[in-house]
Amino acid sequence: MNECVLVVDDDREIVRAIALLLEKEGYRALKAYDGMEALRVLAENEVQLIIMDVMMPKLDGLSAMMKIRERKNLPIIVLSAKTEDTDKILGLSMGADDYVAKPFNPQELAARVKSQLRRYTLLGGIHAQNEEDEIVNGRLCYRLKERTLYADGEPVRLTATETKIMELLMRNRGRIFPAEEIYERVWEEPSFSPENTVMVHIRHMREKIELNPKEPEYIKVVWGIGYKMEKM
Amino acid sequence: MDTKWKKCKKIGSFTAFVLGWTLILVNLIPVIAVYKRIGGSLLDGPACQYQESSEFKGAVSDRLMRLLAVATEGKSGQAYDAALPEYYGYIDAQETYDKILNDTALAQENMTQDVLESVEEAVAEGAVTEAEYADYQAYMEEQRLHDNEVTMAELGLDPDDYYDDDSADYYYEYADDYADYYYGYDFSDKKSRDAYMADIAPNKNILYAVVKQGKLLYTNIESLAPFAGKDNEEWKQVDFQTVLDPLAYNFTLRYNKDGDGMVQIVQDGAQQDVYGDGVYRDYSPWRVPGYTNFTLGESAMDVEVFLAAASAPKLYMVGNGSGGVNSYGQRFYSLYLEAIELRSAFVRKGVLLLAGVILLLLAFLFGKDRRLAVEQLAGLLGKICLELKLLLFLVLVTLLICAGGAFGGNLLGQFLWWIRNGFAYYIWSGDTLYEIENFTTAGKYLAAFFWLFYLTVLDFRKNRTKQKKPLLDLLKEKDFKYPIQKRLVKRDRRTLLAELVVTVLLAVSICAFYLAAGEYMNYLMGGYAYEFVEEYGGRSITNVFLILAEMTFCALFVFTLITFYSLKKNYRLAVDIGALTDQILAVREGNMTKELILPEDTDLKEAADNLNGIQKGMETALAERMKSERMKVDLVTNVSHDIKTPLTSIISYVELLRQEEDLPQYVKEYIQILGEKSERLRGIVQDVFEVSKATSGQLPIQMEMLDMGKLLRQTLADMNGQIEESTITMKTTIPQEPVSVQADGQRLYRVFQNLIQNTLRYSLEGSRVYLTLIRQAGEVVVRIKNISGMELADDKDFTERFVRGDESRTDGGSGLGLSIAKSFTEACGGKFQVETDADLFTVTVRFPDVDDVLSEEKQES
């Protein structure tokens, strides 16, 4: 595993810490402290992934990302101290593959790096082949015949019930299911106060598939209504 | 027993109060009027009282004047004439009368002469027979006699043959009194003198003796009758003072006793002061000669007159030989009767008045009980609605005033007249009792007025603020529905209308007064008004009233005009006030741009300008506040960003440290602590950021319809792990059926997450937390109750940022939990409330019930 990650931030200590963390995970880390430098390093080295801060001198993260996207299709994780949803959406729409808010959990960042790299290297880019018997949603892929869920190409161990719930949600991505419906369709019996039961399973599933279970990206609670699988 | 006694005292003192006042009011006027009438000698006998009256003095003076005229054969007339110019005119009238008589006779003679000539011509021509001519002449003679009675006396004819029965009765009934008023005597004529003396002689109430040159000319004293016309020794021995019984005739008057032309009066053996300072004035009680400015000339120097008045006058009835009766002495007899009646009436009314005073004193002695009763009465009055009371008041006042019409429509004027003058002379009718009863009636009206006004004032004083006035309230309420300018204009119109009505009423009443004035004054003056006003019209009280009324009317007219013009101006003001009020409303509703421009010359220009200033100031202040809010959020954003960057380093390096394996155990523990605290710091930074955004209204909110019950169940399920880990038991009451609200689910989740976390963190260990969801009065209410583990401070606002139940606690939350919950709830359009009751901590979150609103809308449509 010699994937090379470019870490770009104007805060040298953060760059160093991230680099150290990544190296501990077995990646090669390159450092840059502003957008221009990042572009130069990128031109000179073979880089598989970029972790880049938004607010930087000379050339800011978003502008640098746009320049990079002109030529390269490598995954970019954006770091930002701004946590507002609009910033996140802006970052993702301008070509970022992932968005991590500062102050981040280092392990989460590592997980995200790993996830992005696996998808990039193993599946050959963002747009993976969509076969008929599998449902792909972001980094998740549910193979109907195997009744198995793959996250970043790796199978996830789900219990039978969890699998049923996952299949239901994956088949109906974006649709909101009330707890009662999930219960009735998975357990196939009338429900009575199913909220707790469903929630327990969902929590377990999140722990297995989400990079940060506390801030889930895929299985979401729609408060006051139900649950849904976010369509990526 | 005690309360019964108290009640008795209360009722008794109040009754005494009412009765006392009523008795005083009813009897005060009669007592005062009678007192005025009978003068100071209340305790003397009735004789003295009747002799106190000016009527008596006038009668005696008249009699003396007549007797002097008789004695001087009319010559004393000139002296009286000089002293009593025109007003009394008795003597002067004689000349005037004669003159008129002569003129008339002359005119008649001329006319008769013409007629005679024409008749003679007619006779000569044979058109009229001699017999017809004789008849005509007889008729003419009769006509001449009938036209003036004086000639009857001159001719010694019996007037009875010429007058109709009524006037004959009148003439003879009060024969002697009439004689004193009668102008027709010619005292230079012996026949006339004798006729007069014959008329007055039978009246033994007033005895007289007229002496001229030592000779007794006339007398009606029986014991002196033999000496009439004589001048002997026996007569010279007569002493008038001893001739009569001093008890029967307690009043004697002697003229020219000492040859000085003065009058001496002895009453009850005491010499009376007749002349005062010696100058005769119109109001001097004794109209007799002897004043410095009123003396009789030489003609009366040889005359002496003695008069005596009876202490108890009687009525002398003498048959007139034609089936009728002539009564003599009526004048004094009436006065005497009146005095007796007045005295008894005075005693009667006085006793009642005294009783009233005593009762009133008693009432004031028990003042406390009386006041209690008055309070109770006021309470009773307060229960009656104002409109009814007003109506009753008006009706009663009108009734009383109309009833007062019996007193010439002027009760007050009548009162004043009575109090000033006593009451009018009714010597011919002797209606004293009737008069006194009139006073009593007037007193009753006064009492009625008094109590009416007492009740009115009492009601006004005690119930002013708590009057029940349903009708007026209704009107007021109706009034308030109009905008202010309309209300003002309406009020002004009402004022103007009232003023016009008053002016018209006053004008009408003044006209009516003018028309009725003659009759009215005639009534007031007891029938003498026309003569009185002719001479004293300029000074008449009634005229003063008229002038006052005219002036009032003029003033009111001018006042109405002024009001009209100022109201016209006020109309403009009302419009401006309306505009100003609208503007104030606009400012209140946040319209900061619309300015109110009023014309330069209006009263409210300054106020409008000031309001514009306030508006501008508010606009600036608001803009600045918005700016500062924005700056605050910017600041928090920047600060949190500046904190986040180093925090990122800290967390990252702690993570690196954690991955170091060769470190000693205690260092690993330190690192563990560093990790936890930096995580917590991260949470706090995030919370501060969110709270500041939410409170400044910059938190993005995505409102959607959601089921509050489901949201709560999801939240509880989400936090199930934490709940189970704690010692707290959750008791939830959430209905199964959907409870819809309009809110941002994500934010609301944060609200309840924070609240539940709070209860888990701060509840008493092992206690229960109650979470209920109910729909109540158009609201969806979520209530979370828990028992605090720590003592709660009473005066703490738990929703303030960084406030904790216990200041010393440092572990756990950021101190922003409730603050976030509150600001998020409010950002979603809900209400957030914290209540503490001892250790019970209650949080209530309210949202409008969407189903309720929807069903209402459905119903409306």
Contact B409, B521 (CB under 8 A): no
Residues near B847 by Cβ (< 8 Å), separated by ≥ 6?
A: B708, B741, B742, B743, B779, B780, B828, B829, B830, B831
The partner residues of A137 in beta bridges, in order of sequence, read: A140
Residue B80 lies in a domain: yes
Chain A residue with minimum CA distance to B678: A103
Residue B753 lies in a domain: yes
Please say which residue of B582, B616, B640 terminates a domain: B582
Whole-angstrom CA distances from B635 to A85, B364, B632 are 19, 80, 5
* Residue type at B413 in one-letter notation: G
Please say which residue of B526, B547, B582 terminates a domain: B582
Asked if residue B713 and residue B569 are part of one domain, the reply reads no
Asked if residue B710 and residue B574 are part of one domain, the reply reads no
Residue B463: per-residue pLDDT: 83
Positive or negative torsion for Cα B597, B600, B606, B610:
positive
Asked if residue A112 and residue A15 are part of one domain, the reply reads yes
Asked if residue B261 and residue B112 are part of one domain, the reply reads yes
Chain A hits for B689, Cβ within 8 Å:
83
Chain B: give the shortest CA distance to residue A112, in Å: 15
Tell me the pLDDT of chain A (232 aa) as tens digits.
Answer: 578 899 999 888 889 999 999 998 889 999 998 888 888 888 888 888 999 988 888 888 888 888 888 888 888 999 887 766 777 788 888 888 888 888 888 888 888 888 888 877 766 544 445 566 788 888 888 888 888 888 888 888 889 888 989 888 888 888 898 888 888 888 888 878 788 888 889 988 988 888 888 888 888 888 888 898 988 7
Q: CATH number, domain at A33?
A: 3.40.50.2300
For helices B432-462 and B2-38, angle between their N-to-C axes, nearest 10 degrees: 140
HSE of B163 in the Cβ direction (CA atoms, 13 Å)? 16
Please say which residue of A68, A94, A122 terminates a domain: A122
Residue B356: per-residue pLDDT: 93
Asked if residue B129 and residue B264 are part of one domain, the reply reads yes
Chain B residue with minimum CA distance to A13: B649
| Backbone torsions φ then ψ of B642, nearest 5 degrees | -70, -30
Among candidates B644, B707, B745 on the partner chain, residue whose Cβ is nearest the Cβ of A81: B644
Chain B residue with minimum CA distance to A14: B649
Long-range contacts of range B113-120, CB-CB < 8 Å, 24 or more positions apart?
Answer: B115/B140
Residue B707 lies in a domain: yes
Residue B375 lies in a domain: no
Chain A hits for B641, Cβ within 8 Å:
81-82
Q: CATH number, domain at B778?
A: 3.30.565.10
Q: What is the DSSP track for B365-410? A: HTHHHHHHHHHHHHHHHHHS-HHHHHHHHHHHHHHHHHHGGGGTT-
Residue A128 lies in a domain: no
Chain B residue with minimum CA distance to A196: B717
Q: CATH number, domain at A148?
A: 1.10.10.10
A190 in contact with B, Cβ within 8 Å: no
Tell me if residue B665 falls in helix, strand or coil: helix
Chain B residue with minimum CA distance to A204: B718
Q: Decide if B645 and A105 are in contact by the 8 Å CB cutoff.
A: no
For chain B, positions 637-676, list CB contacts with chain A under 8 A.
640-641, 644-645, 647-653, 655-656, 659
Parent domain of A204: 134-229
Chain A hits for B745, Cβ within 8 Å:
222-225
Asked if residue A145 and residue A79 are part of one domain, the reply reads no
B220 is written with which tokens? 């009606």
Asked if residue A182 and residue A103 are part of one domain, the reply reads no
Chain A residue with minimum CA distance to B709: A224
Residues near B506 by Cβ (< 8 Å), separated by ≥ 6?
A: B549, B552, B553, B556
Residue B416 lies in a domain: no
Q: State the DSSP H helix or E strand holding residue B574, giving kind and residue range, or none if neither.
A: helix B541-588
Number of domains chain B contains: 3
Report how far residue B846's alpha carbon sits from residue B748's, in angstroms, rounded to the nearest whole number. Answer: 12
CA B262-B266-B270 angle, to 5 degrees, is 125
* Residue type at B97 in one-letter notation: Y
Residue B367 lies in a domain: no
Report how far residue B830's alpha carbon sits from residue B706's, in angstroms, rounded to the nearest whole number. Answer: 14
Asked if residue A223 and residue A141 are part of one domain, the reply reads yes
A221 in contact with B, Cβ within 8 Å: yes
Q: State the DSSP H helix or E strand holding residue B757, giving kind and residue range, or none if neither.
A: helix B745-762
Asked if residue A81 and residue A15 are part of one domain, the reply reads yes
B745 in contact with A, Cβ within 8 Å: yes
Q: Decide if A223 and B689 are in contact by the 8 Å CB cutoff.
A: no
Residue B76 lies in a domain: yes
Chain B residue with minimum CA distance to A199: B717
Chain A: give the shortest CA distance to residue B759, in Å: 20
B47 is written with which tokens? 């004789």
Asked if residue A10 and residue A118 are part of one domain, the reply reads yes
Residues near B181 by Cβ (< 8 Å), separated by ≥ 6?
A: none
Contact B733, A213 (CB under 8 A): no
Please say which residue of A72, A91, A122 terminates a domain: A122
Residue A51 lies in a domain: yes
Contact B581, B554 (CB under 8 A): no
ipTM of the complex as predicted = 0.82
Asked if residue A116 and residue A9 are part of one domain, the reply reads yes
Q: Decide if B641 and A107 are in contact by the 8 Å CB cutoff.
A: no
Asked if residue A157 and residue A90 are part of one domain, the reply reads no
For chain B, positions 749-778, list CB contacts with chain A under 8 A.
749
A31 in contact with B, Cβ within 8 Å: no
Report how far residue B741's alpha carbon sits from residue B851's, in angstroms, rounded to the nearest whole number. Answer: 8
Report how far residue B196's alpha carbon sits from residue B175's, in angstroms, rounded to the nearest whole number. Answer: 10
Residue A38 lies in a domain: yes
Q: Decide if A224 and B707 are in contact by the 8 Å CB cutoff.
A: yes
CA B650-B653-B659 angle, to 5 degrees, is 140
Report how far residue B676's alpha carbon sits from residue B655's, in angstroms, rounded to the nearest whole number. Answer: 11
Chain B residue with minimum CA distance to A18: B652
Please say which residue of B267, B302, B335 terminates a domain: B335
Asked if residue A89 and residue A118 are part of one domain, the reply reads yes
Best mutation site among B642, B655, B687 for testing chain A: the one with the most A CBs within 10 Å?
B655
Number of domains chain A contains: 2
Regions of chain B where pLDDT drops below 70: 1, 36-49, 77-79, 81-113, 115-116, 119, 126-129, 140-184, 320-324, 402-435, 513-546, 794-797, 799-815, 852-861
Residue A127 lies in a domain: no
A70 in contact with B, Cβ within 8 Å: no
Asked if residue A216 and residue A196 are part of one domain, the reply reads yes
Among candidates B652, B689, B743 on the partner chain, residue whose Cβ is nearest the Cβ of A17: B652
Contact B316, B88 (CB under 8 A): no
Chain A hits for B688, Cβ within 8 Å:
none
A105 in contact with B, Cβ within 8 Å: yes
Quick one: DSSP state of residue A129?
-
| Rg of chain A over all Cα atoms, to the nearest angstrom | 19
A13 in contact with B, Cβ within 8 Å: yes
Parent domain of B85: 46-335
Chain A residue with minimum CA distance to B707: A224
Outline where DSSP puts E strands in B589-728.
704-707
A102 in contact with B, Cβ within 8 Å: yes
Residue B227 lies in a domain: yes
Asked if residue A210 and residue A162 are part of one domain, the reply reads yes
Best mutation site among B640, B682, B693, B714 for testing chain A: the one with the most A CBs within 10 Å?
B714
Residue A129 lies in a domain: no
B830 in contact with A, Cβ within 8 Å: no
In terms of Cβ atoms closer than 10 Å to its own Cβ (0-12, 13-18, 19+), residue B741 is buried
Q: Decide if B717 and A20 are in contact by the 8 Å CB cutoff.
A: no
* Residue type at B8 in one-letter notation: C
Chain B hits for A199, Cβ within 8 Å:
714, 717-718, 720
Asked if residue A67 and residue A26 are part of one domain, the reply reads yes
Among candidates B655, B716, B745 on the partner chain, residue whose Cβ is nearest the Cβ of A225: B745
| Backbone torsions φ then ψ of B292, nearest 5 degrees | -65, -30
A204 in contact with B, Cβ within 8 Å: no
Please say which residue of A122, A154, A189 terminates a domain: A122
Residue B317: per-residue pLDDT: 78
Which tens digits make up the pLDDT trace of B764-791?
A: 888 999 999 998 888 899 999 999 887 7
Asked if residue B709 and residue B578 are part of one domain, the reply reads no
The partner residues of B33 in beta bridges, in order of sequence, read: none
